[in-house]
Structure 1
Amino acid sequence: MDAATLQTFTSPVVLFFVLGLLAAFARSDLAIPEAIAKGMSLYLMAAIGLKGGVAVSKSGIDSNVLAALGAGIAASLLLPFLAYAVLKGFGKLSRIDAGAVAAHYGSVSVVTFVTAVEILEAQAKPPGGYMVAVMAAMETPAILTGLLLARGLGSAGGQSKGELLHEVFFNASVVLLLGAFAIGMIAGAEGFGEVSPFFEAGFKGVLCLFLLDMGLIAARRIMDAKAITARLVGIAIALPLVNGAIGTALGAAVGLDVGSTAALGVLCASASYIAVPAAMRLALPEADPGIYLTMSLSITFPFNILINIGLISTLATMLVGPGAAMP
């Protein structure tokens, strides 16, 4: 086991996730109230958005930022095509279900990204602050591709196109991430200093508790899953490996530093379990949430947290070089 993977397994944020998995599999009554879990989610998104905006206010928008944004949006648009082909062919899913699941594997998981940032910073490979904007930009294109693959954009499952577009572009995570990012850019380091004790001192602790809750949810959904076949389990592990390698290679190709290259790989490897399910519920109500939620949340999410972040970090170092980390 290499140093990056070992460091992943000894990170408190990952260990709290493992604790949640074990507690749920042991059928413990450990639980975090839904209102508190939602509050932690809002806190984490606001904090990561603010810190990203402050970082960009210091560095400015340069060619690296534009290259990362272009690479991320292109990946989000195109990765669902690969997922759809595998899901419909090898996975034996219907066109509707394959399109819905494919959208998840082109979009991103905010919690996976935040966890990866913590791990990469511990490895002295901090991603650029602009990667927060890349993450927000990657959430939406995959939804449009997934709908196109499922049945074309001419139909929205009985919902108006206005409702669907509103859900896609103005869901809570996109609004809060981009809004906090803009606030960070406007306020700058000096303005952020006024609120930094709240958003920095408690960040890792809140992330630990949030991942404890995610571990509980992921394990309990696995135990309740009925529609997941061995083929789909294999796909839910293979896709983040392939997508992560593609994203990492793409980051290296456009000249990103090692931390940002790894972060782009993690974003491509992650699968949405918040924004995309909400959009699919509106646009493809006949798609089976037992398939797309179990694959993205209960299989791909734990695999990324426990194993794939470390693998992507190692690959990024191989492609870019350890000396290319940001100062």
Structure 2
Amino acid sequence: MDIIVTIFSTIIDQLQKPTLAFLIGGMLLASLGSKLEVPEPVYKFIVMLLLLKVGLGAGISVRDANLTELLVPAAGAAIVGVLIVLLGSRTLARWKGVSKIDGLATAGLFGAVSASTLAAGMAVLDDENIAYEGFIGALYPFMDIAALVTAIVMAKVSVARRASNAEIAADGTMAMNAAPKTEPAQIEGLEKGLVKTILVDTFRSPAISALLIGLAIGIFAAPDSVYDSFYEPLFRGLLSILMLIMGMEAWARLSELRKVAHAYILYGIAAPLVHGMLGFGVGLIAHHLTGFSAGGVVLLSIMAASSSDISGPPTMRGALPEANPSAYVGTSTGLGTPVAILSIPLFMALAAAFIG
């Protein structure tokens, strides 16, 4: 009973903090029909600065990090990304009325990471003076790329098999002999350069590029002074504007869900919580193996609960043009992102209860 009271009081308290308050404020403005707009270039500039800040901070911390302490959470992050997609392939992608391609694309976005949600989690922990590993930002690409590659490969293989079956069905006399010849050839051709293409496209995406260059500079250069004097002071102000934008965007995307199956609504609400608990469990394992901090466990949970809002959608559009953006973007931005951000207090309370 005490845990429930603690979780509830933590949630109420955090809803009043700037990070979550700006998100809710944006949703309220959009619901009231406000014409407030933030120009797209400004939005992209804010995201770039936030990701550079996260990357620089992670790189500076990686310089002094113990290799084992970094590798265990990194491996855990990649595993979580893959597991989320596999879970989506067994649930949403098999739901009646849901296209398998759309279901896998949606699962891929939910397995990937939202940079803004991660930044929001860091801000909340900073406000509460809860310590976490500085290299947390370096875990972002492990989960993000693992989820996107897994989802796209599974979707492409599904398309190849479906095309193979259709070709075989068109000629009943070849049904017994065509399957062994056509399907392996298609899948082999598919797998040849697919993973490499996905990796290249993902690394070239704006979000990952900004994060990785910040990470590299933090590790191999000495950006501490510009980090402390420029990026750190701007962080919370820029994040508040981003949360306002995301709140308005989330409300606008909710209308897109009317065009697709109601299964997406249920998935968008439940998946962040289920995925976050999966991340929390992996974080606990890392905690017991390497002493991974309670704050680190919370942020790994937030990464797992989040769904990609920057790098994922363009990656999916390019790799799976047949997938319906209203399904995977609407579910991700319209429901997944606000639920993930609003669940931050839940994971904080769980960490306090199980780790202390």
**TM-score surpassing 0.5?**
yes
Aligned residue among 204, 207, 211 for 1:170: 204
Give 1:211's match in structure 2, choosing from 227, 233, 243. 243
The match for 2:59 among 53, 60, 63 is 53
8 Å contact from structure 2 (residues 140, 303) kept in 1: yes
1:117 to 102, 113, 122: 122
Deviation at 1:273, TM superposition (A): 2.1
Is 1:184 the counterpart of 2:218? The answer is yes
Supply the AA of the counterpart residue of 2:34.
S
What is the match of residue 42 of structure 2?
36
Amino acid at match of 1:41: V
Inter-partner Cα distance in structure 1 for 2:74 and 2:198? 24
1:75 and 2:107 matched: no
- Aligned residue runs from structure 1 range 276-295, under 5 A: 276-295=312-331
Q: CA deviation at 1:83?
A: 1.2
User: Equivalent residue for 2:233?
Assistant: 201
The structure-2 alpha-carbon separation of the partners of 1:160 and 1:246, relative to structure 1 and needing over 3 Å to count, comes to: closer
- 1:85 aligns with 90
TM-score, normalised to structure 1, is: 0.90
Equivalent position SS for 2:91: helix
Is it true that 1:20 corresponds to 2:52 in the alignment? no
Amino acid at match of 2:282: L
Separation in structure 1 between the aligned mates of residue 307 and residue 42 of structure 2, nearest angstrom: 23
Tell me how far apart the structure 2 counterparts of residues 209 and 81 of structure 1 sit (CA, whole Å): 34
Partner of 1:130: 135
Q: Is the 8 A contact 1:31 1:216 kept in 2?
A: no
Aligned residue in 1 for 2:333: 297
State the Cα deviation string for residues 53-107 of structure 1 (Å, max 9, x = none). 22233x3233221111010011112220101211023464112111111111211
Given residue 227 of structure 1, which amino acid in structure 2 is its aligned partner? K
Report if aligned partners of 1:243, 1:268 keep a CA contact under 8 Å in 2: yes
1:22-70 deviations in whole A, cap 9, x for unaligned? 111111101101111111111111111111222233x323322111101
CA contact (8 A) 1:164 1:282 kept: no
Cα pair distance change 1:235/1:194, threshold 3 Å: closer
Instruction: Return 5+ residue gaps in structure 2 as ranges.
Output: 1-6, 158-186
Could you tell me how far apart the structure 2 residues matched to 1:94 and 1:5 are?
Answer: 35
Aligned length: 315
Match of 2:108 in 1: 103
Distance 2:220 2:102 in 1: 42
Name which of 237, 241, 244 aligns with 2:273: 241
Compared CA separation, residues 253 and 212, structure 1 to 2 (3 A):
same
- What is the rounded CA distance, in whole Å, between the counterparts of 1:161 and 1:316 in structure 2? 36
Separation in 1 of the partners of 2:317 and 2:188?
17
TM-score (norm 2): 0.83
8 Å CA contact 2:95, 2:263 repeated in 1: yes
Alpha-carbon distance in structure 2 between the residues aligned to 1:154 and 1:311:
44
Distance of aligned partners of 1:154 and 1:317 in 2 relative to their CA distance in 1, 3 Å threshold: farther
Q: Which residue of 2 is the match for residue 11 of structure 1?
A: 17
Residue of structure 2 equivalent to 1:312: 347
Contact conserved, 1:40 with 1:206, CA < 8 A, in 2?
Answer: yes
Question: Which residue of 255, 261, 270 corresponds with 1:223?
Answer: 255
Rounded to whole Å, the distance in 1 between the matches of 2:139 and 2:206 is 17
Q: Shift in Å at residue 242 of structure 1? A: 0.9
**SS of equivalent to 1:130:** helix
- Does the 8 A contact of 1:108 with 1:138 survive in 2? yes
Separation (CA, whole Å) in 2 of partners of 1:53 and 1:147: 29
> How far does the alpha carbon of each residue in 1:112-143 deviate from its partner, in whole angstroms, 9 at most, with x for none?
11001111222232321111010122111111
Deviation at residue 12 of structure 1 after TM alignment? 0.8
- Secondary structure at the counterpart of residue 138 of structure 1: helix
Q: Which residue in the other structure is 1:2 paired with?
A: 8
Note closer, same or farther for the CA distance 1:154–1:278 as it changes in structure 2 (3 Å cut): farther
Which secondary structure state, in structure 2, belongs to the residue aligned with residue 93 of structure 1?
coil
Change (3 A) 1:86 1:161: closer
Whole-Å separation in 2 of the counterparts to 1:82 and 1:304: 18
Cα distance between partner residues in 2 of 1:154 and 1:284? 18
Q: Is the 8 A contact 1:249 1:319 kept in 2?
A: no
Q: 1:225 to 1:234 in 2, by over 3 A?
A: closer
CA RMSD of aligned residues (A): 2.0
Deviation at 1:277, TM superposition (A): 1.3
Query: Which moved further from structure 2: 166-175 or 77-86?
Result: 166-175
Q: Deviation per CA, 1:137-196: give whole Å up to 9, x if none.
A: 21111111112321327677xx987654421232121121111012112334xx412442
Q: Which moved more, 1:126-135 or 1:282-291?
A: 126-135
Check 1:165–1:246 CA distance in 2 against 1; reply closer, same or farther (3 A cut): closer
Deviation at 1:276, TM superposition (A): 1.7
- Cα distance between partner residues in 1 of 2:210 and 2:88: 28
